[in-house]
């Protein structure tokens, strides 16, 4: 639709209706210095020069080279078939499939996604995805509150710090209590779950990369009549015990490792899978398989009241949509790799992370994580983590997610490795840390204030 500006007469009538003479008066509440600041623009460029300028700016973002960033978003191998199929026009342009008779392709793809997530987590029912891992955790907590009719949520400090913030944002307006359980030796200790607790939320592997004692935590929650919400790395489930096997009631997490590019931190999608007893508490969409009047297989949105989309105050959640395209990318990616491919990626990530940790220990660095970690671990450093991150970036390495002060570890960062990490990448990081004086015994580089 072409842009059609208002006519002078329309503007005059609108201003007259609110008692103003000039459009500028609409902004009188703003400080004068902000109303019309001078903008220093370069001279205009022709098309060829403009494209050269844009390409030069884009080239400043280096996407190659060693990458050890984790903290919820990691760089994994994505086969070419994943974006090729996911970006077909019928998927890219699809909207919420309210009308199944014209939405069978999207509905079937979503049904396959749900089936894959159920198989990965070992639980009975998956929704059609959520916005991200943090909101999925918060929605799981609300589902537990509804199911148990209790008003307190316990969360391990090992959950991603941003997840804890989102949980607080969700729970506080509803008058629900959130209590954070501090870690002991980088893992969640045995907890005493009270009779007022709706659920215990534990991330595995946790934010520091350490594997949690999930079976014991599930038993502690269930003994008090509470639910266990397991926030999991989906790729880790290719080699670790599934949430269903250790007794989790709800499995949630962020699906980025399953086939979404890093993309400056997003977009990704959240997933949520529950036991059959919690099926009616699922927020968002659920696709079911059925047959039509002629007995042919078909797919429909199911177990969802219409107010889920319209009467938000009466819905289980105000999330009625999902991240369809990014979840579809995961579906294609899992199908392309298969169980063996996923396992090889997970095993490669574990192997490279342990090789990195051992190389750093051998060089004299203080690696805090024990033997039980997946593909991230903690490194104690001698300076502000943000300073180190910048210094490594200047040398072509992306590494060092700062560990927040709440963990009580002092100056520390997490490092991640994946199946894409090479021996040369590991050597480059160790060499850079030596050069910067981070590793004990090395000549310390000057650290700007």
> What is the DSSP secondary-structure string of 121-189?
HT-SEE-S-BS-HHHHHHHHHHHHHHHHT--EEEEETTS-HHHHHHHHHHHGGGT-EEEEEPPBTTBPP
Residue 379: φ, ψ to 5°: -120, 125
pLDDT at 103: 86
pLDDT band at 307 (very low <50, low <70, confident <90, very high): very low
Q: Are 363 and 433 in contact (CB under 8 A)?
A: yes
Tell me the residue ranges of DSSP E strands in 263-411: 270-274, 287-291, 297-301, 366-367, 376-380, 401-402
Is the pLDDT assigned to residue 446 strictly greater than 50?
no
3-state secondary structure 404-420: CHHHCCCCEEEEECCCC
Per-residue model confidence as pLDDT tens digits over 31-84: 988 888 888 888 999 999 999 999 999 888 777 789 999 998 999 999 999 999
Same fold, 81-332 and 339-435: no
In terms of pLDDT, which residue wins out, 106 or 238? 238
pLDDT in tens, 182-225: 999 999 999 999 999 999 999 999 999 999 999 999 999 999 99
CATH architecture of the domain with residue range 81-332: 3-Layer(aba) Sandwich (3.40)
- Cβ proximity of 161 and 177 under 8 Å: no
Class of domain 339-435 (CATH, top level): alpha beta
Range 151-159 average pLDDT: 97
Residues 282 and 249: their CA atoms lie apart, in Å, by 12
The rounded distance, in Å, linking the Cα atoms of 237 and 249 is 16
The mean predicted confidence, pLDDT, of the chain is 90
From residue 367, alpha-carbon distances to 362, 371, 442 in Å are 10, 11, 16
- Is residue 421 pLDDT above 60, yes or no? yes
- Tell me the pLDDT band of 230, cut-offs 50, 70 and 90: very high
pLDDT at 448: 40
Alpha carbon separation from 69 to 76, 114, 295, 394, 399 (Å, rounded): 11, 29, 51, 15, 5
Contact 349, 417 (CB under 8 A): yes
Report whether 332 contacts 85 (CB < 8 A): yes
Least trusted range by pLDDT, from 101-105, 287-291, 362-366: 101-105
- Average pLDDT for 408-433: 96
Question: How does residue 318 score in pLDDT terms, banded at 50, 70 and 90?
Answer: low
Calculate ∠ Cα 60-264-355, nearest 5°. 90
Q: Which residues share a beta bridge with 179?
A: 154
Predicted local confidence at residue 444, as pLDDT: 40
Q: 152: closest CA among 193, 208, 110?
A: 193
* Each residue's pLDDT tens digit, 176-190: 999 999 999 999 999
**How confident is the model at residue 376, as a pLDDT?**
96
- pLDDT at site 449: 35
Sorted by where each begins, the domain ranges of the chain are 81-332, 339-435
Q: How confident is the model at residue 326 (pLDDT cuts 50, 70, 90)?
A: very high
Eight-class DSSP state of 212: P
Residue range 347-404, pLDDT digits in tens = 999 999 999 999 999 999 999 987 799 999 999 999 999 999 999 999 999 999 999 9
Mean pLDDT calculated for residue range 235-247: 97
- pLDDT band (50, 70, 90) for residue 294: very high
User: How far is residue 281's CA from residue 356's CA, in Å, rounded to a whole number?
Assistant: 42
Please report which confidence band the pLDDT of residue 9 belongs to, taking 50, 70 and 90 as the band edges: very high
pLDDT on residue 84: 95
What integer pLDDT is reported at residue 42 of this predicted model?
Answer: 86
319 pLDDT more than 90: no
Question: If phi over 0 gives left and psi between -120 and 50 gives alpha, with beta otherwise, what is residue 304?
Answer: beta
pLDDT at 121 > cutoff 70:
yes
Q: Give the model's pLDDT for residue 321.
A: 58
pLDDT of residue 78: 95
Residue entry with tokens 């710090």: 161
**Predicted local confidence at residue 37, as pLDDT:** 85
């Amino acid at each position: 639709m072409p842009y059609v500006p208002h006519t002078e007469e329309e503007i005059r009538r609108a201003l007259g209706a609110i008692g103003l003479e000039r459009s500028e008066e609409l902004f009188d509440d703003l400080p004068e210095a902000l109303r019309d600041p001078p903008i220093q623009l370069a001279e205009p460029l022709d098309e060829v020069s403009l494209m050269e300028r844009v390409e030069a700016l884009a080239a400043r973002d280096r996407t190659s080279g060693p990458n050890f960033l984790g903290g919820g978003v990691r760089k994994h191998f994505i086969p070419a078939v994943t974006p090729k199929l996911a970006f077909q026009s019928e998927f890219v342009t699809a909207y919420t499939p309210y009308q199944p008779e014209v939405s069978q392709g999207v509905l079937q793809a979503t049904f396959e996604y749900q089936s894959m997530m159920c198989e990965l987590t070992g639980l009975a029912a998956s929704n059609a995805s959520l916005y991200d891992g943090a909101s999925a955790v918060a929605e799981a907590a609300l589902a537990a509150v509804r199911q148990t009719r209790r008003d307190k949520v316990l969360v391990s400090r090992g959950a991603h710090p941003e997840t804890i913030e989102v949980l607080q944002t969700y729970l506080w307006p509803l008058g629900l209590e959130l209590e954070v359980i501090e870690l002991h030796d980088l893992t969640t200790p045995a907890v005493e779950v009270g009779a007022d607790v709706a659920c215990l939320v534990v991330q595995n592997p946790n934010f520091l990369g350490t594997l949690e004692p999930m079976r014991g935590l599930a038993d502690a929650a269930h003994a008090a009549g509470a639910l266990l919400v397991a926030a999991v790395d989906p790729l880790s489930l290719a080699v670790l015990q599934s949430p269903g096997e250790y007794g989790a009631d709800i499995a949630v997490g962020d699906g980025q490792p399953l086939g979404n590019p890093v993309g400056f931190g997003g977009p990704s999608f959240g997933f949520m899978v529950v036991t059959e007893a919690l099926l009616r508490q699922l927020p968002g969409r659920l696709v079911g398989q059925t047959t039509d009047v002629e007995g042919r297989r078909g797919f429909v949105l199911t177990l969802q009241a219409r107010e889920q989309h319209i009467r938000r105050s009466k819905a289980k959640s105000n999330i009625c949509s999902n991240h369809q395209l990014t979840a579809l990318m995961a579906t294609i990616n899992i199908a392309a790799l298969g169980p063996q491919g996923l396992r090889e990626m997970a095993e490669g990530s574990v192997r490279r992370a342990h090789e990195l940790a051992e190389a750093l220990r051998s060089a004299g660095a203080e690696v805090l994580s024990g033997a039980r970690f997946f593909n991230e671990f903690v490194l104690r450093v001698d300076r502000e983590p943000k300073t180190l991150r910048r210094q490594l970036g200047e040398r072509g390495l992306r590494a060092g997610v700062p560990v927040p002060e709440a963990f009580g570890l002092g100056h520390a960062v997490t490092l991640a490795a994946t199946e894409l990490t090479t021996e040369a990448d590991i050597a480059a990081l160790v060499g850079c840390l030596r050069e910067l004086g981070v590793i004990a015994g090395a000549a310390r580089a000057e650290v700007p204030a």
